[in-house]
Amino acid sequence: FLPALRHALGRSAALTKWGQWAATRPDLVPPSVCEALSVLHAHAPAHAAAISRAEVEAATGASIEDYFDAWEDEPLASGSIGQVHLARLNGSAVAVKVRHPRVGAELEADFRLLELLARAVDSVPGLRWLDAQSTVKQFGWALQRQASLEEEAR
């Protein structure tokens, strides 16, 4: 069961983030599940360097070589939302975060599913105390901010 759960949660950005959150909540989730989900913090696949280059070039309006003094195609790290490339800009070392392809569409689909599940949970009298719909809304708001990369840009 746990390998299947970990696999399912690792299939999309929102579900991976939910799994990462659940892994840190032994007060709500059985410790064995927390342990099984903890690998979601460290195992996020990277996308191809060409995708990062194309995204950055579209955002800057210039080629990587013209915009940056140096650029590392190999990502420093990859997470559920995007990956980080090291670069040099005007002589300073910078980290450039690039969203994974399709993250926006995946998040939208995932949250429709999570909202449906939350409504189902909230309809069970013994589980209404969880207020799953509010939790999903708060989680969605925070994740949309991460996915837009606005906080990292500041």
Q: What is the mean pLDDT of the chain?
A: 87
pTM listed for this prediction: 0.73
Residue 21: partners with Cβ closer than 8 Å, 6 or more residues away: 139
**Whether 89 and 109 share a structural domain:** no
List own/partner pairs for 107-113 with CB under 8 A and 24 or more apart: 107/12, 107/13, 107/14, 107/143, 107/144, 107/147, 109/12, 110/12, 110/13, 110/14, 110/15, 111/14, 111/136, 111/140
**Tens-place pLDDT, residues 38-51:** 888 777 789 999 99
Q: Is the pLDDT of residue 20 over 60?
A: yes
**Whether 132 and 148 share a structural domain:** yes
**Whether 20 and 66 share a structural domain:** no
**Whether 151 and 106 share a structural domain:** yes
**Whether 119 and 143 share a structural domain:** yes
**Tens-place pLDDT, residues 48-62:** 999 999 999 999 999
- For strands 70-71 and 77-78, give the pairing: unpaired
**Whether 106 and 153 share a structural domain:** yes
**Whether 11 and 39 share a structural domain:** yes
Whether the CB-CB separation of 1 and 11 falls below 8 Å is answered with no
Name the domain count of the chain. 3
**Whether 152 and 106 share a structural domain:** yes
**Whether 95 and 106 share a structural domain:** no
Structural domain for 16, as ranges? 1-43
- Give the highest mean pLDDT range of 15-29, 54-68, 94-108: 54-68
Q: Please tell me the predicted confidence (pLDDT) of residue 6.
A: 63
